[in-house]
Structure formats: C-alpha cells, structure tokens
Amino acid sequence: MKPVKILLPVFRWIMRVSLVLYAYVMYFDVIRSFQFGDLGYFVALIFSLFTVLLLVGGLLRESSITVISALILILLELYQLTYDVNPEVSQSFAIFLMIMSITGYFLATGNEKK
C-alpha cells in the first residue's frame, strides 16, 4: 500500500495546532500569574510565543519564522528535559520527546509544500 501523501498538509496543520493547544493547556495559568522572578514563567512565555509563531509561519511563503521558531522550541525542550524532568522514562519525558520530534520535523522541513 502506498502512502497517502495528499493528507500530509492536513497533518502538518494538525501538528502546528496541537503545539499551540499544548502550550495553552500547559502554560496559560503560568503566564497569567505574571511571576517575573520565576524562570519557569519565562520558559512558559517563550514556549507559548514561539508556538504561535510556528503556527503563523505556516501561513507565510518563507520558512524563516517556522525554522527559527522550531529551533527555539527544540532548545527549550532540551532545557526542560535536562533540568525539569526526571531522567527516568516517564509520561512527561515521553511528552517532551514527542514535542521535540514535532518541532524537529518543522526545523528540518520548514514550510515545505511538496
């Protein structure tokens, strides 16, 4: 059976929207708290900002915003994997790896229209 390539653009948008939804569910309350003295606040704010930029980047012809946003998101996920998550294989570890794989996809492909 051959791959169904016609569905690829749909699932690219689902990945973009799922990142924004993840940022909203995980970080909205943290951002609303306005705790400027907490590093977690800035991580949540930057993560949320760049997920929105990744979504907006999909609407543009150039891939620059998508690639830069994906790079920043991967760096944030690496930070969170290193400092915030237990080194054991756990639910949060798996979620961070899935988020990293989605952002890695956009870092590698940008806004590829093929």
Mean of the per-residue pLDDT values of the chain: 86
pTM of the prediction? 0.83
26 has a pLDDT exceeding 80: yes
Structural domain includes residue 67? yes
Structural domain includes residue 114? no
- pLDDT of the residue at 86: 66
Structural domain includes residue 57? yes
Domain span holding position 45: 5-109
Structural domain includes residue 14? yes
Structural domain includes residue 20? yes
pLDDT tens digits along 39-92: 778 888 899 999 999 999 888 888 889 999 999 999 988 888 887 666 677 787
Domain count, the chain: 1
Q: Tell me, what DSSP letter sits at residue 89?
A: -
36 has a pLDDT exceeding 90: no
Residue pair 72/50 in contact by the 8 Å Cβ criterion: yes
Structural domain includes residue 13? yes
- Beta-carbon neighbour count of residue 93 at 10 Å? 15
